[in-house]
């Protein structure tokens, strides 16, 4: 089994679960995990210098076209959770993998991924190759 190496493109955020995120069963409602992914995704995009404002200014939108969430354990009121996002693909799409865990114990609560594609805002056409601006922001050479 090959050990996964850590990417240089990752961000981590800690937050405390709030009462308004709970469902009638007193655990975080499953739909709120999408919000948690957005929180750490924004931190990651800020870190690479290509947040939503910068994307728009570059002429590209990056809609999410696919999202997977795998629930392992519930988060509860007052619990401090760690959100982690890591870019794992970028040449033809922007794929980010996520891990939500208990900040104190490291116990996995949720594992997720999102896939985004570039859309030229002028033509509204999807790009089948990520635009050069993403490679620039990641500090990697354009593919041959």
Q: What percent of the chain has pLDDT over 70?
A: 96
What residues make up the domain containing 85? 10-138
Question: What pLDDT, on a 0 to 100 scale, did the predictor assign at position 35?
Answer: 98
Which residue in 98, 103, 39, 107 sits closest to 70, CA to CA?
Answer: 98
| Model pLDDT for residues 14-29, shown as the tens digit of each residue | 999 999 999 999 999 9
Residue 19 to residue 68: CA distance in whole angstroms: 25
| Contact yes or no for 88/9 (Cβ under 8 A) | no
Q: Are 74 and 17 in contact (CB under 8 A)?
A: no
CATH number at residue 114: 3.10.129.10
Q: Against a cut of 0.75, is the pTM above it? A: yes
Is the residue at 81 inside a domain? yes
Residue 85 · residue 11 · CB < 8 Å: yes
Question: Is 18 among the domain residues?
Answer: yes
Q: How many domains does the chain have?
A: 1
Q: Running DSSP on this structure, what letter comes out for residue 123?
A: T
């Amino acid at each position: 089994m090959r050990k996964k190496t850590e990417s240089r493109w990752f961000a981590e955020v800690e937050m405390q679960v709030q009462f308004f995120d709970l469902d009638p069963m007193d655990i975080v409602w499953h739909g709120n995990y999408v919000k948690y992914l957005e929180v750490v995704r924004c931190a990651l995009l800020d870190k690479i210098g290509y947040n939503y404002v910068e994307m728009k200014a570059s002429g590209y939108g990056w809609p999410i076209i696919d999202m997977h969430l795998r629930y392992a354990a519930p988060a509860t009121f007052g619990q401090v959770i760690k959100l982690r996002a890591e870019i794992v693909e970028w040449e033809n799409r922007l794929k980010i993998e996520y891990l939500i865990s208990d900040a104190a114990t490291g116990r996995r609560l949720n594992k997720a991924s999102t896939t985004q594609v570039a859309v030229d805002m002028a033509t509204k056409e999807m790009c089948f190759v990520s635009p050069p601006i993403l490679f620039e922001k990641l500090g990697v050479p354009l593919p041959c």
